Structure 1
Amino acid sequence: MINPIGRASITKQQIRFVLVIFLVISAIEVINLLTGRIFNQLGIIPRYVPGLRGIVLGPFLHGNLQHYFSNIIPLCIFSYLLLQYGLKRYLQLTVWIMLITGLLVWLFARPATHIGASGVIYGYFGYLVLAGFLSGKFKLMIISVLVAFFYGGLIWGILPSAPFVSWESHLFGFIAGLAGAKLWAKPSP
């Protein structure tokens, strides 16, 4: 059992980790903004071999400030909630979601440059909604219920809605998150 002082230390570390994520993505956004969005060409370009680099780079890039702000807040909130599963699981899941989502977008999405963290966000959303129930742990089940309640409207983002929204990233991210929950959420004995 973790004593309250140990728990406070873990929470501080998790908040610091989320702050680093925020600062890195914000720094990339500022540089991208000041260079006329020159980095956005590094997104996923389906079925174009150089577009494969976007699988890793695309989630760090955004089309405009509105796109950035609509992604950074849920990314930080979901990152903090995912850290309740541990740093190792967070990193494992992030790599899984980026690779699976990116590969599926590259294989099946519309021809366009796909950028933004929303595929990762939808992956985190899918994981957080399902993993708590699969884990059998009360605290994690509460997180699943709260995420489903407060962010359940995200589910509509997996449907085609606007021409400049990569609903494919949303859909494939969500599927990758659900698959990650099925693979790694440990049921209680």
Structure 2
Amino acid sequence: MKEVVGEIRTHILILVALVGTMWGLEVLDTYVFRHGLDTLGILPRQPIGLRGILFAPFLHGSFGHLAANTVPFIILGWLIMAQSVSNFVVVSVICAVLGGLGTWVFGARGLHIGASGLIFGYLGFLLARYYFDRRLSSGLVALFVGTTYGSVLWGVLPSMPGISWEGHLFGFLSGIFAASFVRDRASSRV
């Protein structure tokens, strides 16, 4: 029982640290830097824009933008973390790097910021994981995630100006890749 409580405590600490960083940066960006930190986001096909691959998931255009990303980030991130913290780290890195690179190469001109690329990556991972591991628990999670968040998949298509559908699309695709990678990683350890 102590192990379960300790693991849940670790999950909470990681998620609070990440979300706290996002909110802290948005407070600083809004009130101290007057949205100057946002320029550290992904700028497609510009060498300086590559730094955005690291920073973009932590930067948001407004408190509303960040609030809209907070709850799905926590829920989907925790669903990955519930299987293993190392999977959460691996999936997060893959989705940030590959999703960010896809956005940098193919994204529309302008700034791309926000955690939604990671969120779509988590969504892709959780939906695809059952295909790769065929575990009942993964299937139940995929069913829950599909029914709860499935409607947001329209976000991978061009819809509204100012919304980085490219970030959503490449995040989602990188999540599917991460599901395959995690499966291959697990099978190589056996």
Which interval holds the TM-score relative to the shorter structure?
A: over 0.9
Tell me, in whole angstroms, the C-alpha distance in 2 between the residues paired with 1:151 and 1:62: 21
Q: CA RMSD in A?
A: 1.7
Q: Of 139, 158, 161, which aligns to 2:159?
A: 161
1:137 deviation in Å?
2.5
Tell me, yes or no, if structure 1 residue 101 matches structure 2 residue 102. no
Q: Of 70, 73, 80, which aligns to 1:72?
A: 70
Amino acid at match of 1:61: L
Matched-pair contact (CA < 8 Å) for 1:132–1:144: yes
Q: Of 9, 14, 17, which aligns to 2:11?
A: 14
Q: Give % identity.
A: 32
1:52 deviation in Å?
0.7
1:26 equivalent in structure 2 = 23
Look up the SS of the partner of 1:143 in the other structure: helix
1:20 deviation in Å?
1.4
2:141 equivalent in structure 1 = 143
Amino acid at match of 2:159: S
5+ residue gaps, structure 1, are none
Look up the SS of the partner of 2:121 in the other structure: helix
Q: Of 160, 171, 174, which aligns to 1:173?
A: 171
Tell me, yes or no, if structure 1 residue 54 matches structure 2 residue 52. yes
Count of equivalent residues: 186
5+ residue gaps, structure 2, are none
Amino acid at match of 2:19: F
Matched-pair contact (CA < 8 Å) for 1:21–1:76: no
Tell me, in whole angstroms, the C-alpha distance in 2 between the residues paired with 1:179 and 1:127: 8
1:133 deviation in Å?
4.1
